[in-house]
Structure 1
Amino acid sequence: MDASIDQYVADQVSVDGPAKPGGQQKNIWSNRKHDPRVGVRSGEMQSLQSPVPSLVLEDPAAIRPLFDARQRTALLPFLGRGCTVASAAKQTGEHANTMLARVRRWERLGLVFAVGRERHARGIQTIYRCTADTFFVPHRFTQAEDLPALAQSLHTPDVVALFTAYAQAASAFPADAEWGIHFARQGERWAMQPQRCPETDCDPLDDHLPAALLQYAELRLLPAEAKVLQHELAALLRRFETTQSKENQGRTYHLFVGLA
């Protein structure tokens, strides 16, 4: 795998997943029939030559990285595409040695596998990819006591990051101001927002203040109306995800949307 390494990598890493040299792909499915909506179970996989569409995880050690926010971030560069350790470290801000240790552990757990190699200025680097394009973890194999606890374990880091950034936005306020929280009625709910002083009419939407917003509302809606709102919120997220700064010149803002 020396003179032909470029062709090997081209054969191994593709949109549809790495192919076995010679164009033949080894069957990774067991003899048992599978529902494609459920996916292959980790204990039923044979020697892997290409990623499966979906993998059901039942091993607590393999499940743990998916429930750790930092490890999920580090694993993302390998999901659905091939990536080297160095490239993944650069994308996520991880130290290269830390990323290498993670990848080796994930490989032992069956979360990633080597799909090829590529030339590099300092030698040849291995290209890794997740063993599946999607992972499914049954609730009974998690450590969560119930579904609310499961949701908290997944999303609490995102909420904490939002709260932290929201509080840090106060650094843009004038140093001599005595900022506080203004409590008032807004319809049938409390409106709580930062305000400079009781005499100052201040609103978070004021142009001279940083873009920071944290509000909560309880709405009485018909199911059909709630569904419309759900679609509108999802469309809002998609719109800004596709129009965000392509040159990475903007700063990072945290946006968390929920409806239930």
Structure 2
Amino acid sequence: MKLNREPTALRLSPSDEVPGWTPAADLLVTEPAAVEILWLPDKRLHLKPFLGRSADLAGAAAELGIAKPAMSYWIKRLSEAGLIRPERVEKRARHRVTFYRCVADRVRVSLEHAPMESYEAVFADFSQRWHGQALSAMSRSLVRQAPSLELCLAHTPSAGLFTTILPREGHAQPPDDFLYYWCRLWLTEAETEALARELNAVYDRYGALSDKANKPVSSLMHLIHVREPR
């Protein structure tokens, strides 16, 4: 499904009325100009104020923390790409303020249309929130265990400077407040597939037990298992 562009509806004068319209609940985006914006995090950020709601230029600029001229540029670009359109015009003293909204409350774009450089950015974008929360929780754990731990630094031929946290000599191993593993495993094809199945099974088992309403202890869980390119 391609976006329907309506250039005449996007060039409003202060006295124009906005034709009534309803955003789609879901839209697959295929237009190249819109696809480029949606795939690149530093560009699609400018769509945020208009997804599932409407915003004027000043409100969108304030939400994103950018200057109004920059927001004006992005409103024009998002409009020309067919991603947003005017929703209504409100009278404010001696002038009118146009509010814009995304043409759909949820937009999708196929992976096959993504520029190659954007794939890594996708993972960084949707893991940013969780990563920050996990770092904060792990830091608080280290504060509690600090008297029993020490930072160790060493040189390794493959990685250069290597750092890790270990128990202090003469101190008992503190309880595992968190698990944090980075490692490289050399396995057969069958063992690699078995590892992936077991990790998925752990997630499925404990995901089924999760009950936010009735269980007071929350835990963050992050699993990564990926084959390295040969």
Question: TM-score if structure 2 supplies the norm length?
Answer: 0.55
Q: Of 103, 127, 139, which residue of structure 2 is paired with 1:131?
A: 103
Native 8 Å contact 2:25 2:106 kept in 1? yes
Question: Partner of 2:56 in structure 1?
Answer: 84
Question: Partner of 1:180 in structure 2?
Answer: 151
Question: Partner of 2:84 in structure 1?
Answer: 112
Distance in 1, Cα, partners of 2:94 & 2:176? 51
> How big is each residue's C-alpha offset from its partner over 1:1-49, in whole Å with a ceiling of 9 and x where there is no partner?
xxxxxxxxxxxxxxxxxxxxxxxxxxxxxxxxxxxxxxx322xx36483
After TM superposition, give the deviation of residue 257 of structure 1 in Å: 4.3
- Judged with a 3 Å threshold, the aligned counterparts in structure 2 of structure 1 residues 115 and 222 are, in CA distance, closer, same or farther, namely closer
- Judged with a 3 Å threshold, the aligned counterparts in structure 2 of structure 1 residues 107 and 222 are, in CA distance, closer, same or farther, namely closer
After TM superposition, give the deviation of residue 102 of structure 1 in Å: 1.1
Aligned residues: 179
Distance in 2, Cα, partners of 1:80 & 1:160? 22
Task: Kindly report the root-mean-square deviation, in angstroms, between the aligned alpha carbons of the 2 structures.
Answer: 4.5
After TM superposition, give the deviation of residue 225 of structure 1 in Å: 4.8
**Is 1:41 the counterpart of 2:18 in the alignment?**
no
Distance in 1, Cα, partners of 2:57 & 2:46? 10
SS at match of 1:98: helix
Task: Give, as a single letter, the amino acid of the residue that structure 1 aligns with 2:109.
Answer: V
Distance in 1, Cα, partners of 2:43 & 2:98? 20
Question: TM-score if structure 1 supplies the norm length?
Answer: 0.50
Q: Which runs of 5+ in 2 are unaligned?
A: 10-20, 154-162, 183-194, 214-219, 226-230
Q: Which runs of 5+ in 1 are unaligned?
A: 1-39, 183-191, 206-212, 240-254
Distance in 1, Cα, partners of 2:87 & 2:96? 13
Q: Of 135, 141, 153, which residue of structure 1 is paired with 2:121?
A: 153
Q: Of 204, 210, 226, which residue of structure 2 is paired with 1:227?
A: 204
Distance in 2, Cα, partners of 1:72 & 1:180? 40
- Judged with a 3 Å threshold, the aligned counterparts in structure 2 of structure 1 residues 60 and 258 are, in CA distance, closer, same or farther, namely farther
Task: Give, as a single letter, the amino acid of the residue that structure 1 aligns with 2:32.
Answer: P
Higher relative contact order (CA 8 A, sep 6+): 2
Question: Partner of 1:57 in structure 2?
Answer: 29
